[in-house]
């Protein structure tokens, strides 16, 4: 839901051909270029995440995505003839994705989940269905309005990550999972308040709190 699929489709079918005066069937070409950008910046991120942390890369990458989506929304709603900037911003959005969701999501999921096959299947099914629906979304809403919707979703993602994402570096898998559990069950507001105030972590044994057993895979 970062908006990359929609921008790629619009870039290949409308924006890119209008800039290059090519055919209105350049979706594959644009996606090849976008994939190349993704590979390069994901490799770069992979080399630097250990030094700067997953949380930092997620935050900064999403900020890039937010700026790109907001500018695309403004351009396509108010000055739709400036497709050259939409093309440029599409590649900038991909850079943001490659620094955040691309290299970080599955690593963080493996720290939280004991078995990731089911979440992985659900995720890829969702991505497949979302990808099929993209042409309908773009043609029905227009890329400007659609980009603004993705912009709002990314604002929510940034707020969540800033408040709740735990940096896995320096923690065992069990420690990371336990801290994630305390943040999500049963009172994330209390967890966030305690975290922002710098308070010490306290075990909450009040009735109604959900406790989940920490499991370790046998070696």
pLDDT at 46: 81
Residue closest to 132 by CA, chosen among 5, 24, 1:
5
Total domain count, the chain: 2
In this structure, the answer to whether residues 149 and 187 fall within a common structural domain is no
Rounded CA separation 190/197 (Å): 11
Domain boundaries, position 127: 4-164
Looking at the structure, tell me whether residues 105 and 204 fall in a common domain: no
User: Same structural domain for residues 150 and 194?
Assistant: no
Mean pLDDT of 80-86: 82
Assess whether pLDDT exceeds 60 at residue 211: no
In contact, 186 and 209? CB cutoff 8 Å: yes
Axis crossing angle, helix 101-112 with helix 117-141, rounded to the nearest 10: 140
Based on the fold, state whether residues 77 and 185 are members of the same structural domain: no
In a shared domain, residues 108 and 47: yes
Average pLDDT over residues 105-117: 71
End-to-end CA distance of the chain: 36
Whether residue 91 is contained in a domain is answered as yes
Give the number of other Cβ atoms within 10 Å of residue 182's Cβ: 22
CA dist., res. 65 & res. 102, Å (int)? 12
The CATH number that applies at residue 110 is 1.20.1250.20
Where among 164, 181, 198 does a domain terminate?
Answer: 164
Q: Is residue 149 part of a domain?
A: yes
Mean pLDDT, residues 72-83: 86
Which uninterrupted H or E stretch holds 157? helix 143-164
The closest alpha carbon to 181, from 46, 173, 103, 53, belongs to 173
DSSP state of 165: P
pLDDT of residue 67: 94
Same-domain check for residues 184 and 149 = no
Q: Using a pLDDT cut of 90, give the percent of the chain over it.
A: 9
Q: How far from 113 is each of 8, 137, 183, 214, CA to CA, in Å?
A: 31, 32, 15, 10
Q: Are 82 and 132 contained in the same domain?
A: yes
Entry pTM: 0.73
Regarding whether 189 and 86 lie in a shared domain, the answer is no
119 and 188 assigned to the same domain:
no
Angle value at C-alpha 171, between 166 and 177, nearest 5 degrees: 60
The pLDDT of 154-171, averaged and rounded, is 82
In a domain, 219, yes or no: no
The reply to whether 44 falls in a domain is yes
125, 178: one domain = no
């Amino acid at each position: 839901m970062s908006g990359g699929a929609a921008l790629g489709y619009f870039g290949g079918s409308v924006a890119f051909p209008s800039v290059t005066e090519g055919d209105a069937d350049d979706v594959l070409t644009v996606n090849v270029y976008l994939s190349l950008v993704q590979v390069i910046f994901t490799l770069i991120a992979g080399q630097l995440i250990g030094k700067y942390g997953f949380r930092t890369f997620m935050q900064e990458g999403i900020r890039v995505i937010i700026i790109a989506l907001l500018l695309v929304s403004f351009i396509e709603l108010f000055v739709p003839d400036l497709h050259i900037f939409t093309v440029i911003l599409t590649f900038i959005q991909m850079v943001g994705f490659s620094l955040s969701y691309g290299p970080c999501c599955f690593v963080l999921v493996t720290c939280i989940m004991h078995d990731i096959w089911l979440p992985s299947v659900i995720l890829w099914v969702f991505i497949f269905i979302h990808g099929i629906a993209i042409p309908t979304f773009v043609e029905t809403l227009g890329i400007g309005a659609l980009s603004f919707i993705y912009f709002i979703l990314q604002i929510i993602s940034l707020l969540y990550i800033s408040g709740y994402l735990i940096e896995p570096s320096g923690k065992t898998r069990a420690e990371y999972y336990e801290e994630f559990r305390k943040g999500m069950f049963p009172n994330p507001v209390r967890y966030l308040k305690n975290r922002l105030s710098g308070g010490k972590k306290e075990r909450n044994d009040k009735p109604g709190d959900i406790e989940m057993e920490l499991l370790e895979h046998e070696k």
